[in-house]
Amino acid sequence: MEKKLVIWITGITASGKTFLGKSLMNGLIENNYTNVIHLDGDELRKRPGWVQGHSLQDRFKIIGLLINLIAEEQSMGKIVIVSTVSHIKSMRELAREKLSGFHEVYLNCSAEKCAARDYKGFYKRAEKNNDVDEIFPGVTEEYQVSKNPELTLNTGEENFTKSSETLLNYTLIELKKSQTK
Protein backbone atom coordinates (compact mmCIF):
# COMPACT_ATOMS: atom_id res chain seq x y z
CA MET A 1 0.00 0.00 0.00
CA GLU A 2 1.36 3.39 -1.02
CA LYS A 3 1.40 6.09 1.62
CA LYS A 4 0.28 9.57 0.70
CA LEU A 5 2.99 11.90 -0.55
CA VAL A 6 3.08 15.70 -0.82
CA ILE A 7 6.15 17.35 -2.34
CA TRP A 8 5.88 20.99 -1.19
CA ILE A 9 8.29 23.10 -3.29
CA THR A 10 8.90 26.49 -1.69
CA GLY A 11 11.17 29.48 -2.21
CA ILE A 12 10.98 33.08 -3.32
CA THR A 13 9.52 34.19 -6.65
CA ALA A 14 11.55 33.05 -9.69
CA SER A 15 13.58 30.50 -7.69
CA GLY A 16 12.28 27.73 -9.98
CA LYS A 17 9.25 26.34 -8.13
CA THR A 18 6.91 26.00 -11.10
CA PHE A 19 9.58 24.65 -13.44
CA LEU A 20 10.70 22.03 -10.94
CA GLY A 21 7.12 21.09 -10.05
CA LYS A 22 6.21 20.49 -13.69
CA SER A 23 9.48 18.68 -14.31
CA LEU A 24 8.88 16.41 -11.32
CA MET A 25 5.35 15.61 -12.46
CA ASN A 26 6.61 14.70 -15.94
CA GLY A 27 9.44 12.62 -14.48
CA LEU A 28 7.06 10.69 -12.25
CA ILE A 29 4.71 10.01 -15.16
CA GLU A 30 7.68 8.74 -17.21
CA ASN A 31 8.40 6.38 -14.27
CA ASN A 32 4.83 5.02 -14.39
CA TYR A 33 3.43 7.07 -11.50
CA THR A 34 0.42 8.40 -13.37
CA ASN A 35 -1.79 9.37 -10.43
CA VAL A 36 0.05 12.64 -9.85
CA ILE A 37 -1.03 16.28 -9.84
CA HIS A 38 0.91 19.55 -9.78
CA LEU A 39 -0.71 22.48 -7.96
CA ASP A 40 0.90 25.83 -8.70
CA GLY A 41 0.24 28.81 -6.43
CA ASP A 42 -0.01 31.33 -9.29
CA GLU A 43 -2.46 29.13 -11.20
CA LEU A 44 -4.59 28.40 -8.12
CA ARG A 45 -5.08 32.14 -7.53
CA LYS A 46 -6.92 32.29 -10.88
CA ARG A 47 -9.63 29.85 -9.70
CA PRO A 48 -13.04 31.30 -8.86
CA GLY A 49 -13.38 31.82 -5.10
CA TRP A 50 -9.65 31.86 -4.42
CA VAL A 51 -8.16 34.97 -2.82
CA GLN A 52 -6.48 37.36 -5.25
CA GLY A 53 -4.51 39.61 -2.89
CA HIS A 54 -0.98 39.23 -1.59
CA SER A 55 -1.38 40.54 1.94
CA LEU A 56 -0.30 38.28 4.79
CA GLN A 57 -3.94 37.63 5.68
CA ASP A 58 -4.72 36.68 2.05
CA ARG A 59 -1.68 34.40 1.91
CA PHE A 60 -2.85 32.50 5.02
CA LYS A 61 -6.31 32.11 3.47
CA ILE A 62 -4.68 30.66 0.35
CA ILE A 63 -2.71 28.17 2.48
CA GLY A 64 -5.93 27.00 4.12
CA LEU A 65 -7.62 26.53 0.74
CA LEU A 66 -4.53 24.78 -0.58
CA ILE A 67 -4.34 22.35 2.35
CA ASN A 68 -8.00 21.41 1.82
CA LEU A 69 -7.44 20.88 -1.91
CA ILE A 70 -4.37 18.72 -1.28
CA ALA A 71 -6.27 16.59 1.26
CA GLU A 72 -9.01 16.09 -1.33
CA GLU A 73 -6.49 15.06 -4.00
CA GLN A 74 -4.78 12.71 -1.51
CA SER A 75 -8.13 11.09 -0.71
CA MET A 76 -8.27 10.12 -4.40
CA GLY A 77 -4.84 8.49 -4.06
CA LYS A 78 -2.87 11.15 -5.88
CA ILE A 79 0.75 12.10 -5.37
CA VAL A 80 0.57 15.88 -4.92
CA ILE A 81 3.29 18.31 -6.00
CA VAL A 82 2.85 21.89 -4.79
CA SER A 83 4.74 24.97 -5.99
CA THR A 84 4.12 27.91 -3.69
CA VAL A 85 6.10 30.68 -2.02
CA SER A 86 4.63 30.02 1.48
CA HIS A 87 7.35 32.24 2.94
CA ILE A 88 6.23 32.10 6.60
CA LYS A 89 7.44 29.01 8.49
CA SER A 90 4.11 28.62 10.26
CA MET A 91 2.37 28.22 6.88
CA ARG A 92 4.51 25.22 6.04
CA GLU A 93 4.26 23.88 9.61
CA LEU A 94 0.46 24.00 9.35
CA ALA A 95 0.59 22.07 6.07
CA ARG A 96 2.98 19.53 7.60
CA GLU A 97 0.66 19.09 10.58
CA LYS A 98 -2.50 18.67 8.48
CA LEU A 99 -1.22 16.59 5.55
CA SER A 100 0.09 13.04 5.34
CA GLY A 101 3.47 12.39 3.73
CA PHE A 102 4.59 16.04 3.71
CA HIS A 103 8.07 16.67 2.24
CA GLU A 104 9.36 20.23 2.12
CA VAL A 105 11.71 21.09 -0.73
CA TYR A 106 13.35 24.49 -0.24
CA LEU A 107 14.80 26.29 -3.26
CA ASN A 108 17.73 28.36 -2.10
CA CYS A 109 18.27 31.30 -4.45
CA SER A 110 19.14 34.91 -3.71
CA ALA A 111 16.67 37.69 -4.47
CA GLU A 112 19.28 39.23 -6.80
CA LYS A 113 19.50 36.07 -8.93
CA CYS A 114 15.73 35.65 -8.90
CA ALA A 115 15.20 39.28 -9.94
CA ALA A 116 17.58 38.77 -12.86
CA ARG A 117 15.52 35.83 -14.16
CA ASP A 118 12.08 37.29 -13.31
CA TYR A 119 10.36 37.43 -16.69
CA LYS A 120 7.04 38.52 -15.12
CA GLY A 121 8.50 41.74 -13.69
CA PHE A 122 7.41 41.04 -10.09
CA TYR A 123 10.65 42.31 -8.55
CA LYS A 124 10.56 45.65 -10.35
CA ARG A 125 6.91 46.08 -9.39
CA ALA A 126 7.65 45.18 -5.75
CA GLU A 127 10.46 47.73 -5.51
CA LYS A 128 8.14 50.49 -6.79
CA ASN A 129 5.10 49.44 -4.73
CA ASN A 130 4.34 51.46 -1.60
CA ASP A 131 1.22 49.49 -0.63
CA VAL A 132 1.85 48.23 2.91
CA ASP A 133 -0.79 45.48 2.51
CA GLU A 134 1.10 43.89 -0.36
CA ILE A 135 4.12 41.87 0.70
CA PHE A 136 6.77 40.46 -1.56
CA PRO A 137 9.04 37.82 -0.02
CA GLY A 138 12.66 38.53 -0.82
CA VAL A 139 12.06 42.27 -1.36
CA THR A 140 9.66 43.75 1.18
CA GLU A 141 9.59 40.81 3.60
CA GLU A 142 12.01 38.09 4.62
CA TYR A 143 11.55 34.48 3.50
CA GLN A 144 11.63 32.38 6.69
CA VAL A 145 13.77 29.33 5.97
CA SER A 146 12.76 26.15 7.82
CA LYS A 147 15.38 24.54 10.04
CA ASN A 148 15.10 21.10 8.47
CA PRO A 149 13.44 20.88 5.07
CA GLU A 150 13.58 17.34 3.71
CA LEU A 151 15.50 18.59 0.66
CA THR A 152 17.28 21.85 -0.20
CA LEU A 153 18.15 22.63 -3.80
CA ASN A 154 20.53 25.49 -4.55
CA THR A 155 18.78 26.84 -7.64
CA GLY A 156 20.87 30.00 -7.43
CA GLU A 157 24.04 28.06 -8.20
CA GLU A 158 23.13 24.81 -9.97
CA ASN A 159 21.20 24.58 -13.21
CA PHE A 160 17.58 23.49 -13.28
CA THR A 161 18.41 20.22 -15.06
CA LYS A 162 20.59 19.12 -12.13
CA SER A 163 17.99 20.29 -9.59
CA SER A 164 15.26 18.42 -11.52
CA GLU A 165 17.29 15.20 -11.48
CA THR A 166 17.97 15.52 -7.75
CA LEU A 167 14.31 16.19 -6.98
CA LEU A 168 13.09 13.30 -9.13
CA ASN A 169 15.59 10.86 -7.57
CA TYR A 170 14.63 11.99 -4.07
CA THR A 171 10.91 11.55 -4.81
CA LEU A 172 11.36 8.12 -6.41
CA ILE A 173 13.27 6.94 -3.33
CA GLU A 174 10.51 8.24 -1.05
CA LEU A 175 7.84 6.53 -3.16
CA LYS A 176 9.73 3.22 -3.02
CA LYS A 177 10.06 3.57 0.77
CA SER A 178 6.32 4.14 1.06
CA GLN A 179 5.56 0.98 -0.93
CA THR A 180 7.57 -1.22 1.42
CA LYS A 181 5.87 -0.02 4.61
Cβ atoms of 96 and 104 closer than 8 Å: yes
Active-site annotation holder among 86, 90, 146, 178: 86
Amino acid at 25: M
3-class DSSP state of 39: strand
H helix or E strand, kind and range, residue 81: strand 79-83
Sheet harboring 36-40: ordered strands across?
Answer: 36-40, 79-83, 6-10, 102-107, 151-153
Report the C-alpha gap between 116 and 107 in whole angstroms: 16
Q: Is 86 a catalytic residue?
A: yes
Question: Which residues face 36 on adjacent strands?
Answer: 79
Report the C-alpha gap between 173 and 19 in whole angstroms: 21
Residues noted as catalytic: 86
